[in-house]
Amino acid sequence: MALIDTIRSIRMEPYDYSLDDARIAKYPVEPRDASQLLLYKGGELSHTHFNQLPHHLPAETLLVYNNTRVIHARLLFKKETGAQIELFCLEPLSPSDYAMAFQATGHCDWMCFIGNLKRWKQGTLQHTLTIKGQTVTLTAERAEAIDNAHRVRFSWSAPVRFGDILEAIGQMPIPPYLNREAVNSDETNYQTVYSKIDGSVAAPTAGLHFTPAVLEALDDIGVQRREVTLHVGAGTFKPVQSDQLSQHSMHAEFITVERSLIEDLIAFEGRITAVGTTSVRTLESLYWFGHQLLTNADHQPDEWVLDQWYAYKEDTQASPTLAQSLNALLAYMDKAGLQRFSATTRLLIAPGYTFRVVNTLITNFHQPKSTLLLLVSAFLGGERWKALYDYALKHDFRFLSYGDSSLLMP
């Protein structure tokens, strides 16, 4: 059976486990680096606290984390009838560039989930707010459906940035499985200390444990820190609802990396630690974008998009080395005059996947039957994830976004 057929035929039932609501962390521990850290080194399990991470990562490691910043993505409008409509901003459509969309000063289109859709059959929604002394009327107009979301056209009456509007009236989109409303502490708790690039509707939660003190201690032992950007979409919370993986449509996410990061990946081959599944997807996707260039010299697309099954196609088995693939990507960037590479990835990492870039993983504990759990299973190999999760459950680890962490060094 071809590899792609093997992956597509994966059943989700073996990736289920019992997760009581009481095990889901509703709030983070204080301080954030006091969270527990499960250690998996060469098959041995033990645990400590996250502030001890610098004692377990070897020097001369390249630590890569996601610098995306969570936006105030939830907008609440009230109709004249009193009905409340929620617009959950997922990603910009026009302009499609995140930075340009946040800088827009008159109108922009976003793909949105619409809460209470049946109460908004026609007409526009309006919300009046004040920004820097200016009264602003924000208008929302529903357009065509896009899968289970809609295009929403936003326009507003004063020359202020859309990013400022989101900050003024939007709410922090904490995960639905917390089963609570956002509170003031989420404004800081649901951002990493190194977040800087607006665009995510969910935090890269493996990074929530880092503090300036931990980062400084890593610097002191010679760990090199680098950043990538992957804007986390709402699809990260979506469990695989089909019985077989072949029926699951992987969500697309926007990534961007600096040229220097790609150079460092080549220099640190074999010593690369990713913080979180979003960093893993970004780094592994870079390999496959380089692979596209090597297997098709004429591949010069206007937009770079990685299909969810690309890594499992038969013609990828004669695989180039990491250096060959990334050097091809660097050559493309040089030719195009680019210092930054941007793309969209739908890469699905499931058991059977061969990791090309990442050697060590820092990650939280994920939902049953999720693509994130599949990634962890693929990273550990076989059914080793079960021993990991059994250990975490028996030792009172806290699960999901505000939960505890693990350091995986297979």
3-state secondary structure 144-183: EEECCEEEEEEEECCCCCHHHHHHHHCECCCCHHHCCCCC
pLDDT digits (tens, 9 = 90+) for 58-100: 999 999 999 999 999 999 999 888 899 999 999 999 999 899 9
**Nearest Cα residue to 253 out of 238, 264, 241, 263:** 238
CA 206 – CA 65 distance, rounded (Å): 9
Q: How many CA atoms lie within 13 A of 214 on its CB side?
A: 23
Rounded Cα distance, 30 and 209, in Å: 10
Do residues 403 and 55 touch, judged by C-beta distance below 8 A?
Answer: no
Q: Residue 314: what pLDDT?
A: 66
49 vs 47: CA distance, rounded Å: 7
Torsions phi, psi for 137 (to 5 deg): -105, 115
Block means of pLDDT (10 residues each) for the chain, length 410 residues? Answer: 89 94 96 98 95 95 97 93 92 92 95 93 91 92 91 94 94 92 95 96 96 98 97 78 89 93 98 97 97 79 87 76 96 95 95 96 96 96 95 97 97
Helix (H) or strand (E) holding 4: helix 3-8
Which of 357, 286, 359 lies closest to 328, judged by CA? Answer: 286
Give the C-alpha distances (Å, rounded to integers) separating 403 from 112, 175, 211, 219, 387.
Answer: 28, 12, 16, 25, 18
Cβ contacts of 114 within 8 Å, gap of 6 or more: 85, 86, 87, 88, 120, 142, 149, 150, 152
The pLDDT of residue 132 is: 85
Tokens read off for 403: 């939960």
Helix axes 259-267, 322-336, angle to 10 degrees: 160
Q: How many whole angstroms separate alpha carbon 190 and alpha carbon 71?
A: 10
DSSP 259-287: HHHHHHHHHTTT-EEEEHHHHHHHHHHHH
pLDDT score for 147: 82
CATH of span 3-69+188-409: 3.40.1780.10
The domain spans of the chain are 3-69+188-409, 73-171
For 129, the enclosing helix (H) or strand (E) is strand 124-131
The answer to whether the beta carbons of residues 295 and 323 sit under 8 Å apart is no
Q: Which tokens sit at 111?
A: 């793909």
- pTM of this structure: 0.93
Name the residue with tokens 């979180």: 276
Whole-angstrom Cα distance, residue 187 to residue 191?
7
CB 265 within 8 A of CB 286: yes
Provide the 10 A C-beta neighbour count for residue 298. 5
DSSP state of 244: B
Q: How far is CA 346 from the centre of its chain?
A: 11
What token pair was written down for 395? 């030792």
What pLDDT is stored for residue 211 in this prediction? Answer: 98
Provide the pLDDT for residue 80.
Answer: 84
For residue 139, give every residue at least 6 positions away whose Cβ sits within 8 Å of its Cβ, in sequence order, or none: 124, 125, 126, 154, 155, 156
